Amino acid sequence: MCGRVVTASTPGELSDYMGVDEIVATLDGPDHNVAPTGQLPLVWSESADASIDTEPSADGVIRRLGTAGWGLVPSWAKDPSIGHRLFNARSETVAERPSFRSALRHRRCLIPVDGFYEWGPPPPGSRDQARKQPWYVHRSDGSPMVLAGLREEWSGVDDVASTPIRSTCTVITVSAGADLASVHHRMPAILEPEAWAAWLDPTVTDAGAVLSALRPAANGIIRLHPVDRRVGNTLNKGPDLLNEVDLSVGAGGPPCEQEALW
């Protein structure tokens, strides 16, 4: 599961890092504790359109940076609340599930975050072995963590003209790599820069051609450390949530587990 992320990089930083041609929407500001239904940044590519002023790249596509609500709402859904359950998509079944299979073929995206939180066993020797411990997971090189995702635009099925278009997304997960396996058995699919163009290519509609990109992170790509349990409360947003805690000296907060929030 990936159910809590950090979005602290600025739109300019993400645009430069990911080679974006156009910024169409931005987040309100940094958020160090984003839960499902919150807003995430996302990058996608579209074929160049003569009516659009943005100059396409050499491959004839335009790469855009925008935002979307975290929790995918398929275009055919009658009730957008379905997105509350669709904030993750398992790589093993994403090509078959009706909620995801069309987006996998036609609306793949990248979701750049600074890191994510995962709940798992505390480190050996910590003061409290009975409760799950939140860990902050980030790239070891300090770069944004670019996650494989899917996007949709939903406008209702009854009265399209009167329903605002809602952009939504989901994070694709894979089996955990060796660096995270001791904490949790799943992790987001992290894509390296050399895989971005192929994943985003709007001309590729064969799911089999892109599924191979979805695999656990190689050893050494990520680092993780224990953080205060205050991250379990979504009202806590500050950068201090990223600070490593010394579990041997009583640095924990009130009992609040991630699983109780949704």
Given this model, what pLDDT does residue 239 score? 97
Instruction: Tell me the pLDDT band of 13, cut-offs 50, 70 and 90.
Output: very high
* Mean pLDDT across 130-159: 91
pTM comes to: 0.89
**Distance separating the N- and C-terminal Cα atoms of the chain:** 12
The mean-pLDDT minimum among 49-53, 140-144, 234-238 falls in 49-53
Which residues does 87 contact at the CB level (< 8 Å), separation at least 6?
Answer: 2, 3, 36, 37, 70, 71, 72, 170, 171
- Sorted by where each starts, the structural domains of the chain and their CATH numbers stand as 5-254 (3.90.1680.10)
Which residues does 241 contact at the CB level (< 8 Å), separation at least 6?
Answer: 32, 33, 136, 227, 228, 230, 231
Token duo for residue 249 = 């000296």
| CA–CA dist 69, 39 (Å, integer) | 5
Given this model, what pLDDT does residue 51 score? 40
* Mean pLDDT across 108-130: 87
* Mean pLDDT across 179-191: 96
Neighbours of 96 (CB within 10 A): 10
E-strand spans in 30-126? 31-34, 39-47, 61-70, 88-90, 108-113, 115-120
Question: 3-class SS at 47?
Answer: strand
Residue 250, pLDDT > 60, answer no
Token pair 């609500």 in the structure block, residue:
69
Q: What confidence tens digit (pLDDT) does each residue in 53-64 have? A: 555 555 689 999
Give, in order, the Cα–Cα distances in Å from 184 to each of 13, 30, 57, 71.
30, 26, 39, 21
Mean pLDDT of the chain: 89
Phi (first) and psi of residue 81, to 5 degrees: -65, -10
Given this model, what pLDDT does residue 229 score? 93
Q: Nearest to residue 61, comparing CAs of 169, 199, 197?
A: 197
Instruction: Identify which of 127-136, 148-157, 220-229 has the greatest average pLDDT.
Output: 220-229
Is residue 87 within 8 A of residue 81, CB to CB? The reply is: no
Given this model, what pLDDT does residue 122 score? 82
